[in-house]
Chain A
């Protein structure tokens, strides 16, 4: 098979950081190419380049043997290259149908006039293709995150009908926000597509890469370090290629909670209901304990975190933190109670885009380092921020760098660091803390979380996967439809099997 897309000697740098270093790559027709690498390895830069969002500094892109310059996303689209964005690219106040065809010529919008019924019908056809039952006239802002991801997928797959040769479809970590059923559909769709499209697929879940790809490319610091057929690889081998060292089989670290005397719980939740997703929940978290929550989407775990943080209201029940009532009516109140929350949607709720790392770090607790809590002490707060960033091993050229220039893992560390700046934090709520992180960055983050627990912090987290929950948690709670259906103390006795957990989830 000939190469449908070929990259020759591609270089790209951002300031002093080399994102791609003399990269050569071939994509063959009908192939699924897996792309792995740690955060900051240049995967996203490569994808953006192929999608027309960034131009290489030097090097050549050949599409079906012809050199092309992809000047814009529209141009990439018209040449049959589409990208499913990790961060969605949908207009919130427009309908599903408009979003699907916003960047594509379409019979229903020819001549600049919209024929709505025809447009809805065309969108319906695209949604049907991937088995999604969404109304084409629904507004994006009325949809859940997962539903939007489906629209995003439909939008890109509609490129199929745009070009008469097989399209190239780029998936930038599409699975990190989908539940297992949705991932199954996505994979089925990719299988269906591979006969008439070439696909590049990024995921941090190595099992996924191994199951869906024909060939895997590993990037490290912008350099291609491996290019292997999947048949010759296994998971540990791939991990080693990516991280650069063997995957250490970690013995479960017993946290300090076991060493301590059975302490009275620090956080007590009694009969808590939010009137929607969960009802009559009871849950305790001790000092220094890490409690993991797992459940399918809509299980109520995320809502529980948001309620504890005051970001949504409880309708009844009690929250007690260190013997003081702590039902917060607003995030501000929760913060002053010593509660911190790492949101699942980092870009929208976690970080201040356009601001520096230090500004992100000090935004909440900067004044704790100020003079009499009244005047800002720039030097003291910057010093504290720098200290936390080095403890968390944030990889950046300086504290003045803007946060959106960092990789997802490093951004997440900064968002976590913002809360750790507090001198009186008691409870850390983590909503999908590892979402979008590569295994290396995830291990780093988990170590930082464990370290916090060792200092006595209580931690409640919503896990992305049950493996992850088993790895990090001292106790594990399974939520289903807003009720705790299973609870395991992982410090004593045997850990539950994956099957047990899944059975409790669904």
Chain B
């Protein structure tokens, strides 16, 4: 190197272009897929591209994207959080019984929202503690917590459906700014905050590092357990926020409100490029994945696909998307050179 700086320079140049093209491919792949989908649906229907349709896509994608972003924190670790449907249900029931509602005389307003979110934080913390300190696989811990959450919601459920009257909660979905409900703005805020945490804070970077090679972080004497706990708490808290927003859309508390949210959230993360083995992807990728799935489902409805064929097509598209976006990870031997 000392005698041949030019060789070294060349190598840097080479590394640069290689890195650039690979990164571009990885990051742009889902975005290109999204644009292609929009173009195809526009070509077929002739009416897909419109402000009204885009607004309805954003409304539909808001909560799934929040859930996908929350789950990404845990996925980046190389772990998984399956508990969101239980957390959503528990948060929904908690919220509906604490804000102004048709069942009891509670009217805690902001306090009710806060406690509903706290329920998610507690669930996330329990997930994290059991996984990290109990050394139990996250898959089984969060699977158990899913059902505990559903059980808690069912126990809380009163004789009849608790309808909410709180203008604060209902306003989330009824107040519109520039044609979009507050939920969409909340989603944007969550995505931006998650991006900032993952990019600019030590705990965020450590979440990536743990997904990359946990053993080295442990051997370096860094507080790995704390970082992991943080990721689970974020995941639980964000799931609870999803529960609050879904309840606001529905107008009442519902123990079944989380049903069917888990699969799209995890798929969205993966379609966007957040890899289940950890360390790769991020908030923007996962949110983009949610948008892709929503465009797909919206487009399929518009071209008249029935619900069953929609399921088949959505599933197939997810498989193809994952296959294409992770193709570069499947070399013959994963060589470290």
Binding site for B on A (CB under 8 A): 52-53, 71-75, 77, 89-94, 98, 102-103, 109, 112-114, 116, 131-135, 138-139, 142-145, 147, 181-182, 184-185, 188, 306, 310-313, 330-331, 345, 348-349
Q: How far is the CB of A96 from chain B (nearest CB, A)?
A: 11
Docked Cα-Cα span, A144 to B216, in Å, equals 19
Stretch at the interface among B126-134, B206-214, B296-304: B206-214
Docked Cα-Cα span, A71 to B9, in Å, equals 41
> Are B3 and A72 closer than 8 Å at their CB atoms?
no
Which residue of chain A lies nearest to B215 when distances are taken between CB atoms in the complex? Answer: A89
> Are B2 and A91 closer than 8 Å at their CB atoms?
no
> Are B219 and A53 closer than 8 Å at their CB atoms?
yes
What total of chain B residues lie within 8 Å of the partner, measured CB to CB? 39
Docked Cα-Cα span, A404 to B90, in Å, equals 47
Give B21-44 as 1s and 0s: 1 = Cβ < 8 Å from A's Cβ atoms.
010000000000000000000000
Q: Is the interface of B mostly helix, strand, loop or mixed?
A: helix
> Are A74 and B220 closer than 8 Å at their CB atoms?
yes
> Are A92 and B337 closer than 8 Å at their CB atoms?
no
Contacting residue for B221 out of A73, A181, A184, A330, CB 8 A: A73
Across chains A and B, which 5 residue pairs bring their CB atoms closest together, nearest first?
A: A74-B221, A72-B221, A93-B212, A112-B202, A93-B279
Which residue of chain A lies nearest to B204 when distances are taken between CB atoms in the complex? Answer: A114
> Are B279 and A90 closer than 8 Å at their CB atoms?
no
> Are A181 and B3 closer than 8 Å at their CB atoms?
yes
Q: Which residues of B contact A145 (CB under 8 A)?
A: 336-337
B4 in the interface, Cβ–Cβ < 8 Å?
A: yes
B319 in the interface, Cβ–Cβ < 8 Å?
A: no
- Apart from A92-B212, A143-B15, A306-B335, what 17 extra A-B contacts exist at CB < 8 Å? A73-B219, A91-B213, A92-B279, A93-B211, A93-B279, A102-B220, A114-B199, A114-B202, A133-B8, A134-B15, A138-B16, A147-B15, A181-B4, A185-B1, A311-B332, A345-B336, A349-B333
Q: Which residues of B contact A182 (CB under 8 A)?
A: 1
B:43-98 near A, CB below 8 Å: none
B12 in the interface, Cβ–Cβ < 8 Å?
A: yes
Q: How far is the CB of A98 from chain B (nearest CB, A)?
A: 6
> Are A331 and B279 closer than 8 Å at their CB atoms?
no
Q: Which residues of A contact B3 (CB under 8 A)?
A: 181
> Are B220 and A103 closer than 8 Å at their CB atoms?
yes
Q: Which residues of A contact B221 (CB under 8 A)?
A: 52, 71-75, 77, 103
Q: How far is the CB of B331 from chain A (nearest CB, A)?
A: 9
B327 in the interface, Cβ–Cβ < 8 Å?
A: no
B5 in the interface, Cβ–Cβ < 8 Å?
A: yes
Q: Which residues of A contact B15 (CB under 8 A)?
A: 134-135, 138, 142-143, 147
Q: Which residues of A contact B335 (CB under 8 A)?
A: 306, 311, 345, 349
> Are B2 and A89 closer than 8 Å at their CB atoms?
no
Which residue of chain B lies nearest to A179 when distances are taken between CB atoms in the complex? Answer: B1
B217 in the interface, Cβ–Cβ < 8 Å?
A: yes
B:247-299 near A, CB below 8 Å: 279-280
Give B170-204 as 1s and 0s: 1 = Cβ < 8 Å from A's Cβ atoms.
00000000000000000000000000000111110
B324 in the interface, Cβ–Cβ < 8 Å?
A: no
Contacting residue for B208 out of A93, A311, A313, CB 8 A: A93
Q: Which residues of B contact A74 (CB under 8 A)?
A: 220-222
Contacting residue for A131 out of B2, B12, B199, B211, CB 8 A: B2
B205 in the interface, Cβ–Cβ < 8 Å?
A: yes
Docked Cα-Cα span, A490 to B337, in Å, equals 31
> Are B5 and A133 closer than 8 Å at their CB atoms?
yes
- Please list 23 pairs of residues, one from A and one from B, whose beta carbons are closer than 8 Å in the complex, sorted by A's number: A74-B220, A89-B216, A89-B220, A91-B208, A91-B212, A91-B216, A92-B279, A92-B336, A93-B279, A102-B217, A102-B220, A103-B220, A103-B222, A113-B201, A114-B201, A114-B205, A116-B200, A131-B1, A131-B2, A132-B8, A138-B19, A142-B18, A145-B337
Docked Cα-Cα span, A72 to B221, in Å, equals 5
Q: How far is the CB of A476 from chain B (nearest CB, A)?
A: 24
Docked Cα-Cα span, A144 to B2, in Å, equals 18
Q: Which residues of A contact B11 (CB under 8 A)?
A: 144, 147
Q: Which residues of A contact B212 (CB under 8 A)?
A: 91-94
Docked Cα-Cα span, A332 to B243, in Å, equals 50
Q: How far is the CB of A83 from chain B (nearest CB, A)?
A: 10
Which residue of chain B lies nearest to A345 when distances are taken between CB atoms in the complex? Answer: B336
Docked Cα-Cα span, A336 to B237, in Å, equals 53
Which residue of chain A lies nearest to B275 when distances are taken between CB atoms in the complex? Answer: A93
> Are B211 and A113 closer than 8 Å at their CB atoms?
no
Q: Which residues of B contact A142 (CB under 8 A)?
A: 15, 18-19, 22
Which residue of chain A lies nearest to B8 when distances are taken between CB atoms in the complex? Answer: A133
Q: How far is the CB of B234 from chain A (nearest CB, A)?
A: 15
Docked Cα-Cα span, A73 to B12, in Å, equals 31
Given A103-B220, A114-B202, A135 contacting B12 (CB threshold 8 A): yes
> Are A188 and B1 closer than 8 Å at their CB atoms?
no
Which residue of chain A lies nearest to B76 when distances are taken between CB atoms in the complex? Answer: A93
Docked Cα-Cα span, A362 to B18, in Å, equals 39
Docked Cα-Cα span, A74 to B220, in Å, equals 5
Docked Cα-Cα span, A93 to B205, in Å, equals 10
Given A133-B9, A185-B2, A73 contacting B220 (CB threshold 8 A): yes
Docked Cα-Cα span, A254 to B9, in Å, equals 44
> Are B5 and A94 closer than 8 Å at their CB atoms?
no
Which residue of chain B lies nearest to A181 when distances are taken between CB atoms in the complex? Answer: B1
Which residue of chain A lies nearest to B200 when distances are taken between CB atoms in the complex? Answer: A114
> Are B199 and A134 closer than 8 Å at their CB atoms?
no
Q: How far is the CB of B175 from chain A (nearest CB, A)?
A: 34
Contacting residue for A132 out of B1, B18, B208, B222, CB 8 A: B1
Q: Which residues of A contact B2 (CB under 8 A)?
A: 131, 181, 184-185, 188
Q: Which residues of A contact B279 (CB under 8 A)?
A: 92-93
Docked Cα-Cα span, A90 to B202, in Å, equals 17
Given A93-B208, A94-B209, A133-B9, A113 contacting B202 (CB threshold 8 A): yes
Q: Which residues of B contact A91 (CB under 8 A)?
A: 208-209, 212-213, 216-217
